[in-house]
């Protein structure tokens, strides 16, 4: 089943920049470090002007495909991808983009990897924050490891005070979409603590609506369809019904600890979870816009 995650997806395929990526080392830790140096987080990296990043480049966060991200990076510097970059030479993105690059680089070096959408407990104490990390197959230990590409290796977990092991994030510090949904449904964790940002009061960015959102996007990612975090389609387009909630309980159980790509594919054909070719995306910088996906992404 790991072979499924060796293949590039329509999102992670480096396209015309494959040789640029191929020149990178085949070590996961090194690939993580490279990915971390390529993205300027649109709100987490600090003031744009202070780092020499033009404010108008904030709309780069709507760049969906890795080959397009690499194109922007190449235009700013054609030096090897692992060479140091000033913020002005980086791509303006978010956690999803750090992860998409790492997953692309790993797959290009025959390392099974996939994106996981969920919530982390290591940014703000007492809160589970919307986040995306990579899951990389450890051949020696025959298991999947969560690898955090956004933060530095010296990042201190806001919840524990300890340095976060970025190459093997504990499963109780990052919860995948299904893990978060199950923990909230059983009452193990308070559903109200799952948010995009504690300061954002919009109901659809917190609690059950966003737990459902990240469960659905995690399913898409497990199907090698790495969506933007602000895409909206199917079940995500309206309030949750009791039937929706029951269905999400079943989904969270089905894509739990042992992910079967065939099971994922079957769920992606459910009418409420199917990814359409045309959808709406609600960018925090560009606002609502209609998007037509590349071939191979719709289900």
| Residue range 107-116, pLDDT digits in tens | 999 999 999 9
Distance between CA atoms of 6 and 103, rounded to whole angstroms? 9
Distance in angstroms (rounded) separating the CA atoms of residues 103 and 51 = 27
Q: Which residues contact 242 (CB under 8 A, 6 or more apart)?
A: none
Other CB atoms within 10 A of residue 79 CB: 12
| pLDDT(251) > 90 | yes
Q: How far apart are CA 6 and CA 19, in angstroms?
A: 17
Q: What is the pLDDT of residue 238?
A: 86
CA distance 53 to 218: 31
Are 10 and 65 in contact by the 8 Å Cβ rule? The answer is yes
Judged by DSSP in three states, 113 sits in: strand
Reported as type and span, the H/E element at residue 263 is: helix 261-267
Instruction: Check residue 256 and give its pLDDT.
Output: 80
Q: Give the least confident one: 41-50, 82-91, 265-274.
A: 41-50
What are the boundaries of each domain within the chain? Answer: 2-292
Name the residue among 25, 140, 125, 13 with its Cα closest to residue 64. Answer: 13
Which pLDDT does position 99 carry in this prediction? 98
Contacts of residue 158, defined as CB under 8 A and 6 or more positions apart, other chains included, come to: 121, 122, 123, 124, 125
Helix (H) or strand (E) holding 18: helix 18-22
Q: In whole angstroms, give the CA distance from residue 114 to residue 13.
A: 13
Give the chain's mean pLDDT. 96
The angle formed by the CA atoms of residues 224, 116 and 10, to the nearest 5 degrees, is 25
For residue 101 the two structure tokens come to 């690059």
Length of the chain in residues, anyone?
Answer: 299
User: Does the pLDDT at position 208 exceed 80?
Assistant: yes
Token pair of 108 as six digits: 């290009």
| pLDDT the model gives residue 258 | 82
The reported pLDDT for the residue numbered 221 is 98
- Whole-model pTM above 0.95? yes
Q: With cut-offs at 50, 70 and 90, classify the pLDDT of residue 153.
A: very high
206: helix, strand or coil = strand
Give the chain's radius of gyration (CA, Å): 18
Under a CB-based contact definition with an 8 Å cutoff, are residues 274 and 266 in contact? no
């Amino acid at each position: 089943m790991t072979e499924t995650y060796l293949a590039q997806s329509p999102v992670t395929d480096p396209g015309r920049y494959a040789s640029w990526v191929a020149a990178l080392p085949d070590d996961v830790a090194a690939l993580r470090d490279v990915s971390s140096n390529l993205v300027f987080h649109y709100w987490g990296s600090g003031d744009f002007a202070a780092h020499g990043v033009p404010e108008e480049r904030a709309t780069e966060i709507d760049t969906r495909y890795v080959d397009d991200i690499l194109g922007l990076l190449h235009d700013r510097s054609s030096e090897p991808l692992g060479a140091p970059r000033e913020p002005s030479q980086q791509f303006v993105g978010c956690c999803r983009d750090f992860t998409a690059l790492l997953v692309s680089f790993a797959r290009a070096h025959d390392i099974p990897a996939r994106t996981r959408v969920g919530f982390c407990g290591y940014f703000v104490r007492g809160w589970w924050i919307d986040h995306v990390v990579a899951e990389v197959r450890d051949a020696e230990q025959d298991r999947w490891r969560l690898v955090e590409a956004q933060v530095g290796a010296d990042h201190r977990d806001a919840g524990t005070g300890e340095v976060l092991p970025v190459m093997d994030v504990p499963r109780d510090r990052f919860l995948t979409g299904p893990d978060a949904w199950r923990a909230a449904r059983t009452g193990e964790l308070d559903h109200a603590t799952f948010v995009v940002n504690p300061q954002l009061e919009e109901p659809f960015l917190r609690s059950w609506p966003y737990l459902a959102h990240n469960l659905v996007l995690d399913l898409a990612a497990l199907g090698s369809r790495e969506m933007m975090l602000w895409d909206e389609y199917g079940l995500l387009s309206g309030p949750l019904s009791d039937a929706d909630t029951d269905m999400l309980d079943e989904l969270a159980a089905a894509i739990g600890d042992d992910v079967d790509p065939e099971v994922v594919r079957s769920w992606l054909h459910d009418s409420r979870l199917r990814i359409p070719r045309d959808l709406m995306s609600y960018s925090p910088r560009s606002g609502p816009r209609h998007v037509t996906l590349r071939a191979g992404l719709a289900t």
